[in-house]
Structure 1
Amino acid sequence: SIGINLGNTYSCVGTWISDCVEIIRDSNYDLTTPSYVSFTNNERLVGRDAEYEVHINPENTIYDLQRMIGRKFNDEILQYNRKYWPFKIIKNNHGKPRIQINYKNEIKNFSPEEISAMILSKMKEISEDYIGQKVTNAVITVPAYFNNAQREATKKAGEISGLNILEIVSEPTAAAIAYGFDKLEPNDNKNIIVVNLEDIFNVSLLSIKDRKFEIKATSEYTHLSHEDFDNRLVNHFVNEFQEKFETNITTYRGAMTRLKLHSERVKSKLSSSQNVIFCIDRLYEGIDFRSSITRRQFEELNMDLFNKIIDLIEKVINDSGLSKSDVHEVILIEGPASIQKIQSMISEYFDGIKIHNNIPSDEVIVTGATILSAYLSGIELEKNLENEK
């Protein structure tokens, strides 16, 4: 059996081997595989190869599936994002979205479930190549805010891919299992805040009582992610370039793509450094762009976004009917970069409460899913796992 973290941007898969979780690397030796599917005149690509196509074949490269699956065509969130997707979304006769692409010089329409199934098939293939035998049983994670229609659509995608879905489990529940909260004593009840910044920023309050997991409240910023931090850096450097060289490079795709890539690297380096110095050779018309930025400057650029995360935590606590003092521990899933300021702000908000963030963020959710999958498959784990469906 396997556990799959079916993410909006990246997906990963794990299995239970030799009494522990083994997270499986793909053919590129990466733990995570981009949740992208691309259609060309010759073939269908899934994962890293599909992600490479997004700049050269954008109309036929599909991503952002969590913003589509299980929704009606007229759904507000789908329609908002539709304005920014380069691929075409149409409405079928039942009011559901269909993704229209050109594949091998033929126009074809796919449901979000069918595209998701292609990604799940890739995860199944990765696991089978590693294990050396056919894989059938799986647990798949979904965001806590997914409703029944979205969960059922995800289950359908799994079935299309040839998997027997043991359970669709929420990401915060999987994270709590990964950190061992399934092993609490029956009377050791806890309320846990799960702050998930891995993809779409969301916060959930998870109550564990008598070893049963219940999502008391959840909320998300659908349009806020780590990319917003990257964009703040990009804008900062664009303005700096314009001040130095009196040139606006925002209309030059090649320059902006390279600047975006370096901004992501700068953000990552600021996790462990107080200051980052970099140079982009020949960024525009032969001009070498040299710059530096401090962690403090980065924090000032993004402080309003950091505050939104605290606002989201407050909203979830209020929606749960509990108070801040009722929260016992926090799980922080940080995403592609660890931002010290976010950690310190959350710790300060909760008066120094224990924050769990030692499991790498791209591993924590799939670890929980894999443990649950092994348990539901009858493997003896000395656990008593019960959670919401």
Structure 2
Amino acid sequence: MAEVAIGIDLGTVHSRVAIYENDQVKIIPDENGRRSTSSCVAFTDNGCIVSDAVKTLSWIEPKNTIFYVKRLIGREFNDPSIDAYKKAWPFDIVKYEDRLKIQVRFQNEIKIFSPEEISSMILRKMKENAEKYLGRKISQAVLTVPVSFTDTQRRATRDAGIIAGLNVLRVMHETSAAALAYNSYNTESDEKNILVFDLGGGALNVSIFTPNCGFIEVKSVAGDSHLGGEDFTDRIMRLCIEEFRIKNNVDVSNDKRALNRLRLACENAKRTLSTFAMASIEIDALYNDIDFSINVSRTRFEEINADLFRSTLVTVEKALYDAKVDKVQIHEIVLVGASTQIPRIQKLLSDFFNGKQLNQSVNPNEAVVCGAAIEAAILTSNESEKIQNSLVLDVAPHPLGIETANGLMEIMVRRCTTIPTKSTQQFSTTEDNQMTFDVKVFEGEHPMAKDNRFLGSFQLSDIPPAPRGEPQIEVTFDINGGGLLVVSAVDKVSGNQNQLDFNSNHANLSRDEIERMFCENIKYKIDSEIPSMNDRRLEQFTVDDVARFIIDIDPSFDGIACRFLREKIDGKALVLLTRDILVKEMGFKIGPALKILNHIQNRQ
């Protein structure tokens, strides 16, 4: 059977998975038939759980229920936004080994997880949903991210996919995925300027593209990673907290369990207000046996969020400016994301474009995952004629450059440059007989390099001695169609060269850390699933039972890894499987295989 790949929309609030088969996209439901899964992970006595049921656990075990992790992935602990999240969210965000981590109590121990690990648990759940629904193993996927994500956040998302046991074919902009979905349903050949307005739970993304005979040329992207539906929910929460304080002379803002219950109620009220003019919030014994109730009108909701709603248009204006397109030249406005169903958002957007009707031909909640599934099919050479000629020409979302001798940022790739692209500039030494040249890569728009995001560095060495300014050093930035960057430098005289490949350079994790997390991920899966297998007691399971279970839940243990485990279990000599063969065939998966086997044996 031909290898297939899935598309995954890893959302702030909900995640979705889909596959393109038989000339159409199929949204894959979870075990309960739902077309989306809450992006929450709960750590309980029975293991770690990813499901919609987790939401109800969030106010019972607030410190052990993790949500909104998409807003943490790829960020530094000292990021200004983190302080606000630490105060507002019930679980513990900590600094561990100079990195942002999440602390929970799990299996009677304090456990530390990276945002990548938490995200990988959600991705693994999406992968398992697909495998159960399709009845086959899945190992390849396209993941989506907001256009506002930095290179570090994109690579961190890719790392999460690897930890989940996926071969990540591409990390794709959410708006580009939505454009691909729109293009699959609209076959008109006329060139148009289409604006995608994607307002989800955690971020705002805007993209302008032009479709032409299957080709999608993205002209610009703009985004705000701190503006989404959860920020609107937060405003309702503030209103409720103040109302409770006025009525009862009590401040509940420091009670994490009360806040979690309030957050769930406010989320429901926000959704209700997209359809009805009034929403009721009623919570029994919110704090110290004090009940709470309030009616929130749509008008009041619009008032408390007025500044946030208006700020969405700033991002729209930025996208128009970068695309060099006037708003009267926009032919279609495509709505994507659950928060675009807020009536006030729709009116502001329509009024901005002089009363233009908004296009809702694509399901706003599923457009991104549909596009990701189509891209996954394209990248795995699906033979469907409907997508044969489909191609997205995306853009670089942020400027990229290097630090010069005076500390300035020398832009090598400008924002919204069409990719793939290659840019080369010539530099030289600043001192006589200088034999090394440091290349420090940054991302951002500030004129001083140090005020931008540092991505990585390398050194070109063995430059032949010469007066300063004489050596000719060519630095090249090469970005492929998937947005992966390779930076190289070459001395034109000696031919010496060096490079930094961001495809193989992980964001915040080393190869060993990813191996460990991959192993831990499967351990947690084993601990969660073994007690429920055929309702048998754990001590009744043999090592062979559980090893077969591992092989079944993770395709990374197919083929030679499967043989390796079985022969290890049977106690046979590994005559055919020398370490060299294992290294070649399994790579870093050898370590996890042995560690997981030991874990199983210790559980017996």
Common fold: TM-score over 0.5 = yes
**Which segment is superposed worse, 122-131 or 100-109?**
100-109
1:385 equivalent to 2:407? Answer no
Per-residue CA deviation, residues 69-118 of structure 1 (Å, 9 max, x unaligned), is 233444444455345442232242xx443334333223433332222221
1:309 Cα shift? Answer: 1.6
1:49 Cα shift? Answer: 4.1
8 Å CA contact 2:197, 2:205 repeated in 1: yes
Which residue in the other structure is 1:141 paired with? Answer: 144
Which residue in the other structure is 1:58 paired with? Answer: 62
Kindly report which structure 2 residues correspond to 1:1-389, keeping only aligned pairs within 5 A, or say none. 1-78=5-82, 80-85=84-89, 86-92=91-97, 95-180=98-183, 188-208=190-210, 210=212, 211-214=215-218, 216-220=220-224, 222=226, 224-236=227-239, 246-248=247-249, 250-251=251-252, 260-275=263-278, 292=295, 294-335=297-338, 338-379=341-382, 380-383=384-387, 384-387=389-392, 388=394, 389=482
Aligned residues: 383
Distance in 1 between residues matched to 2:188 and 2:353, nearest whole Å = 24
1:344 Cα shift? Answer: 1.5
Letter in 2 for 1:247: N
Letter in 1 for 2:328: S
Distance in 2 between residues matched to 1:87 and 1:142, nearest whole Å = 25
Question: Secondary structure of the residue that 1:382 maps to in structure 2?
Answer: coil
1:170 Cα shift? Answer: 0.6
Question: Secondary structure of the residue that 2:29 maps to in structure 1?
Answer: coil
**How does the TM-score come out when normalised to structure 2?**
0.56
Letter in 2 for 1:88: I
1:140 Cα shift? Answer: 0.9
8 Å CA contact 1:194, 1:204 repeated in 2: yes
Distance in 2 between residues matched to 1:83 and 1:261, nearest whole Å = 17
Runs of 5+ consecutive residues of structure 1 not aligned to the other structure? none
Distance 1:287 1:122, change over 3 A: closer
Question: Secondary structure of the residue that 2:205 maps to in structure 1?
Answer: strand
Distance 1:337 1:28, change over 3 A: farther
- The structure number with the bigger radius of gyration is 2
RMSD (Å) for aligned C-alpha atoms = 3.3
Runs of 5+ consecutive residues of structure 2 not aligned to the other structure? 395-481, 483-604
8 Å CA contact 1:249, 1:256 repeated in 2: no
Question: Secondary structure of the residue that 2:248 maps to in structure 1?
Answer: coil
Distance in 2 between residues matched to 1:280 and 1:101, nearest whole Å = 27
1:356 Cα shift? Answer: 2.0
Distance in 2 between residues matched to 1:350 and 1:273, nearest whole Å = 26
8 Å CA contact 2:204, 2:228 repeated in 1: no
8 Å CA contact 1:196, 1:334 repeated in 2: yes
Distance in 2 between residues matched to 1:235 and 1:80, nearest whole Å = 14
1:141 Cα shift? Answer: 0.8
Distance in 1 between residues matched to 2:258 and 2:88, nearest whole Å = 21
Distance in 2 between residues matched to 1:81 and 1:256, nearest whole Å = 13
**Which segment is superposed worse, 121-130 or 255-264?**
255-264
Letter in 1 for 2:49: L
**How does the TM-score come out when normalised to structure 1?**
0.84
Distance in 2 between residues matched to 1:138 and 1:46, nearest whole Å = 19
Distance in 2 between residues matched to 1:340 and 1:74, nearest whole Å = 36
Distance 1:280 1:177, change over 3 A: same
Distance 1:215 1:8, change over 3 A: farther
Distance in 1 between residues matched to 2:301 and 2:319, nearest whole Å = 27
Question: Secondary structure of the residue that 1:69 maps to in structure 2?
Answer: coil
Question: Secondary structure of the residue that 1:361 maps to in structure 2?
Answer: coil
8 Å CA contact 2:193, 2:209 repeated in 1: yes
Distance 1:81 1:343, change over 3 A: same
Letter in 1 for 2:157: T
Which residue in the other structure is 2:550 paired with? Answer: none
Distance 1:194 1:209, change over 3 A: closer
Distance 1:315 1:45, change over 3 A: same
Question: Secondary structure of the residue that 2:193 maps to in structure 1?
Answer: strand
Question: Secondary structure of the residue that 1:29 maps to in structure 2?
Answer: coil
1:195 Cα shift? Answer: 2.0
Distance in 1 between residues matched to 2:154 and 2:11, nearest whole Å = 13
Distance in 2 between residues matched to 1:83 and 1:289, nearest whole Å = 22
8 Å CA contact 1:275, 1:295 repeated in 2: yes
Per-residue CA deviation, residues 257-301 of structure 1 (Å, 9 max, x unaligned), is 666545444433333334557877787899887765543343334
Distance in 2 between residues matched to 1:285 and 1:99, nearest whole Å = 29
Distance in 2 between residues matched to 1:101 and 1:241, nearest whole Å = 29
Which residue in the other structure is 2:453 paired with? Answer: none
Distance in 1 between residues matched to 2:268 and 2:39, nearest whole Å = 21
Higher relative contact order (CA 8 A, sep 6+): 1
